[in-house]
Every structure is written in structure tokens, then in C-alpha cells.
Amino acid sequence: MRKRMSILAGALAVGLALTGCSSGGSGGSDPDNPDQVEVFTWWASGSEKAGLDALVEEFNSQYPDIEFINAAVAGGAGSNAKAALASRLESGNPPDTFQAHAGAELSDYIAAEQIQDLSNLYDELGLKDVFPADLIERLTVDGKIYSVPSNIHRANVTWVNTEVLESAGIDPMKAPESIDAWISDLQKVKDSGVDAPLAIGTEWTQMQLLENVLIADLGAEGYAGLWDGSTAWDSDGVKTAVDHYDQLMNFVNQDYAGLDWDAASQIVIDGNAAYNVMGDWAEAAFTQAGQTWGTEYTTWPTPGTDGVFDFLADSFTLPVGAPHEEAATDWLTTISSAEGQKAFNTVKGSIPARTDADPADYGEYQQSAMESFANDTIVSSLAHGAAAPIAWSSDISSAVGKFGSDRDKDALIQALVAAAESALS
Ligand code: GAL
């Protein structure tokens, strides 16, 4: 009996390894079993997994007969997932649904004819009436809609440890008005004895910091012009931004290369840095660490970007050749439902994509994000797939990564110019 149990336990462990956080292989689903849905994301651990779990719980209550198969691939911003997904799609082994970003990134999958038109599902569920027109526009290509958004995140948020700032004699509730003013505060915090006051992580988090500085120095219109060629990548505004970015990098922790976003946010949570620029998935990390907005931590739009909402939305697709199409449609139905969006977003730190949500269900930070989303100028995030196709953002990311070690501003600008030329030609 004992032997049989241990074999069973072993089989269970293998099963879990296949279904949970798979390496992006087969994903462990059975194409002949219609009552399964294999869902591919990069929400593999920590606060992101908690958000996914909340969504799965709601899915299980809406569709109790369908087994959720978790094909998450760890790595913030899809840093490992996107390559794993590409190889699955190329080899004709798609998951039943996968996470992508609304905007340019989605266009890549559409152009490659890897995902299906969901216009009928939108009509059936009346989704055009419940998602904001702006968002529908970003999801539509040639009159067709190819994904269902689960949420809206903001990428231009600075996370602030209040006690660290107070100890440096700075009022944490007052955001500096410009990047220059912020740099002088960073110096003050450093002088107060905090070696690396600005926490940062791996390459994509550096690209997100640069993106924030570009918005601050170019303004919403100038920044938007980077993506259609109307703002030159060697313009004075970009040069100022690169110079600011270089100065900011003088205040960061040196072990950044090995840190994902959550590890970088944790440095602020622990009071070992004053600031971290990150999307508002960090809200989930702060609250799940037991901290309260306005007390242990606070947030501002990154200095110089007040009035601008740097937008991204996670959006789920139906791949061509999905083995469990019907169950995938059920997953998309749960995601789009008021209950699904509430279950997910209250935990994830994002705001619901649906306009009929009740702000009172959300925390104070999220209520402020909802207000900004409704009133601010919206721009598209680079680091999170909204502004540029994958090839272009990968080129920018490599240039930013290289700058981290050589700190050569001219070389960075040249690489940014070259990346734009090859993307827009
Ligand atoms: C973004 C994604 C967010 C969050 C973040 C960090 O690209 O849209 O939902 O997961 O990456 O991993």
C-alpha cells in the first residue's frame, strides 16, 4: 500500500511539474479531452500568480467541469515566455489561449495569422459596450478584434518608501516636479546614507525606466511620435532623456542584472531603497507584503509625467489550431465578465478594462489609477508591448542592456536610431 501511494505521489509530482509553470513544452494538456483548457501566461509566482489564482477560482465556479492547465513560464514582462510561446506557435503546438499585450505586440501575432478573429464573441457577449472605445480601437485590426483584455496597467508609476524619504528630510507625499528635481532628491537620499536609492532590476525594467524618462522629457505627443517616425530618435528631447537616464543610473543597485521586477520592488518594501519605477502590478506586491498606500509606501506618476497615463493591457487570445477551442472560449468569457475582472484585478493591482466596475471594490491606489485613466492623456508602453512590435522593442532592450555596462550615451542614441530605422523602413 505504501509503495502504491509513493508511486501515486511521484506521478502527481510529475503531473504538477508538467501543468504548473511548464517550460513551455507541450504544457501537459490532452488534446482528446475536451474538458481542459491550457492557459499560457508569465504569471508564475508571487503576487502575479495570486492574481491568476483568483481568476482561475472564478473560472472554476463559472465552468466547474473544465480543468485549468497552467502553462505559465516564469519571467517578468514575458521575458522568457514570449520566446517559449513563439517556438510553440512555430511548431504548431499552440496553447488554448495565451496572454499578450493590446497594441503593437498583438499585431505581430495577427500578421503571422497565429490568432483568431473574436468579433463574433464580442457581439455575443456585448463586449463593445463594456470596454472603453479607446481600448477597443487598440485591439482592432482591419475591423476585427483578436483578444479579450483582462485588465489595464499603468507603467509610469514611481513607488516610494515614505520612511526612507522622511529620514532624508524629504516630504514623500510631494512628488518632485521634474526629473532634475528628482535627481537632486536622489542625491539627498544618498547623502542620508542610502547607497542605492533607486531600485532597479533586469534589462526590461531598465527599458521601462528609460520609457518613463522619454515621456517626461518629450511629453505625451513627442513620445507618441517616436513610434510613427514623427519624433526623431536623435532629437534634442531624446538626447536630454538619455542624459537624464544616465544620471539616474548613477543611483541604482549594482546587482540589477539578476533581479526581476519583484526583487527590485522588494528592495523598496524592505526600506533599502527610496524609489522604484514600475508598473502597477507592484501595487499587489506592496499590499501582499502587508503595506498600506499612504503609510509605509506611496506612489506618484514618475516625475515629469503627471497627467499622462502610460498604458498597457493584458489580453487573451484564441490561437489558430487551439486544441480546446470551446473551453478557451469559456476562459475568454470568464475574463470578460464583470465577476472575472473583479476577481482578477482586485488582486493584481491593475484596474478593470470594463467600464461598469465599482471603484469602491478597489483599494485607494487603484481608485487613483481609475481616475487617471479616465482623465489623463494616454500613451502606449514600450516595455509592455503596446507601443512597438516585438522585434523593435527587443532591439531597444538590447541597446539599453548594453548601456548598463558601457554607459556610452552616443552609442545608445545610435542604436536607438538604427532600431527605429529598421522597424519603420
Ligand atoms: C507586464 C504584464 C503585467 C505584469 C508585468 C510583470 O508585461 O502586462 O501583467 O505581469 O509584465 O511581469
Domain 154-310+385-424, CATH number (from 3.40.1280.10, 3.30.465.10, 3.40.190.10, 1.10.150.120)? 3.40.190.10
Q: What is the pLDDT of residues 348-364, one digit of tens each?
A: 999 999 999 999 999 99
77 lines ligand 1 (CB under 6 A): yes
CA atoms within 13 A on the CB side of 219: 4
CA of residue 261 to ligand 1 center, whole Å = 9
Which residues, 6+ apart, have CB-to-CB distance to 411 below 8 Å? 402, 403
Strand pairing of 377-380 and 308-312? parallel
Evaluate: CB of 204 within 6 angstroms of ligand 1: no
How is residue 152 annotated by DSSP?
B
What pLDDT was estimated at residue 288?
A: 97
Tell me the residue ranges of DSSP E strands in 114-201: 140-141, 144-145, 147-149, 153-154, 157-161, 198-199
What CATH topology corresponds to 2-152+314-375? Answer: D-Maltodextrin-Binding Protein; domain 2 (3.40.190)
pLDDT tens digits, 117-150: 999 999 999 999 999 998 999 899 999 999 999 9
pLDDT above 70: residue 320:
yes
**Residue 312 identity:** L
pLDDT in tens, 323-340: 999 999 999 999 999 999
In the numeric block, which cell numbers belong to residue 338?
464583470
In this predicted structure, what is the pLDDT of residue 25?
39
Tell how far the Cα of 285 is from the centroid of ligand 1, in angstroms: 12
* Average of per-residue pLDDT values in the chain: 93
Index of the ligand 1 atom closest to the CA of residue 385: 7
Nearest-atom index, ligand 1, CA of 279: 5
- Residue ranges per structural domain of the chain: 2-152+314-375, 154-310+385-424
Quote the CA–CA distance of 319 and 327 in Å, as a whole number. 13
105 lines ligand 1 (CB under 6 A): no
Q: Are the C-beta atoms of 293 and 299 separated by less than 8 Å? A: yes
Residue 134's pLDDT is what? 87
- The percentage of residues in the chain with a pLDDT greater than 90, rounded to a whole number, is 92
Tell me if 89 sits within 8 A of 114, measured CB to CB.
yes
Is residue 347 within 8 Å of residue 284, measured between CB atoms?
A: yes
Q: For residue 274, which phi and psi values (nearest 5 degrees)?
A: -90, -35
The verdict on the CB of residue 153 being under 6 Å from ligand 1 is: yes
**What integer pLDDT is reported at residue 28 of this predicted model?**
80
Going from the Cα of 302 to the center of ligand 1, the distance in angstroms, rounded, reads 18
Element (H, E) at 311: strand 308-312
